Structure 1
Amino acid sequence: SADGMGKLLGGVPGVPPARVAIIGGGVVGTHAARMAAGLGSDVTILDRSLPRLRALDDLFIGRVRTRYATLEAIEQEVFAADVVIGAVLVPGAAAPKLVSRAQLAGMKRRAVLVDVAIDQGGCFETSKATTHQAPTYLVDDIVHYCVANMPGAVPVTSSHALNHATLPFGLALASKGLSALVEDPHLRAGLNVHRGRITNRAVAESQHLSAVMPEEALAS
């Protein structure tokens, strides 16, 4: 971004690379780490799952640091980073706020916050959805990139990837209807609402409503 620090992520000989902190070691965080490390950045991934951190250590073979995501560790990495990528997604629920506005004062000037969780409300307190046409804004001299539907930047690739991932489930629903949910526990777990009843606990809690088990709703 033209608003940023003017640093090359990978650095050049004699100039150190940018530091990238990735909060969340799931699919999004792992791919972000692969891209950042591939560009030569100094990368740290934070996550609260020790098995996941061990898997990431094995995957990256020392090219990326891993760290358990305590509040103190997150703050330390955010303050030291040139780029922070928020990749913590909670299925069905609002994303947790991991960086407060007060913490922006401890960050490097013109550092960049990338909020991949913006579709679920964002994981930074100062996040608000932006578009590909106007992707960034400044808060307390920190650049925020909070584009909703980031895969839309590469529509052909993202559309094919989405089709490949969802087509088998769409075909099952089209051919079997609600019976597909009864037969497939994965489809059943994805049910959010049925006949006016919320069947996803995280969705219900985010709306301060009660939930019923999908099996119970489908049986009624």
Structure 2
Amino acid sequence: MPNIESAAARPNGESGETGVEGDAATDADVPLRAEGIEKSYGSRLPFTDRVEVLTGADIEVPAGEIVGIVGENGSGKSTLMKVLVGTLNADDGVVERAGTVGWCPQESLLYDRLTVRETFDLFGEAYGMDGDAVADARERLASRLDFERFLDYQVRNLSGGNRQKVNLSVALMHDPDVLLLDEPYTGFDWDTYLAFWELSESLVERDTAIAVISHLINERERFDRIYELRDGRLHREEEP
């Protein structure tokens, strides 16, 4: 079976070698918390300094809330998400997670030559789910996001929007306690966009903690709190 390099493949949100101090479980009311996250990258150009991306970012994602993270392109949003998930080592800081984690990255983790049905089987095995649980999740999410007729299509033959539906679904199929989404509705039509928010609201009712990264948030009333990533730090927007 191919190796799935993601927190989606680690039902407990464990990352192996993290490079982040801590990674201890936090309390159930705030299942994801990060403090003082720093990350820089070496420049590819000679005689140039390292590029500082995160310079002390702090964030809390409480249970039963939807947290938005906005920022300009290149501000470090995806880097922050990977550190929160545990697939990227931070240079410094503490990340605390409690419960299971689901991750929907901007670049999908799907395998082009597998069918959608086989994709669910693959991720279900990685999560440690039995066959009945995988089938139930597949049917429930395919119906909710309207891709039942594509279950036997290879991923490479899906449209961008349907591919993103599957990408989101495999992050959700094990009912995670924390859901981390990077530009999750890219390619969605209006009906699917509304279905996404209906699904998110039902997850919040079950106390799922959700963080959504986007370069643009139009419907701010859907979020319980919004942070802007600017100059390597997260700045919480004040309520109007």
* Bigger helix fraction: 1
* Bigger strand fraction: 2
Q: Which of 1 and 2 has greater Rg?
A: 1
Bigger relative CO (Cα 8 Å, ≥ 6 apart): 2
Q: Do these two structures clear the TM 0.5 threshold for a shared fold by scoring above it?
A: no
Provide the TM-score with structure 1 as the length reference.
0.31
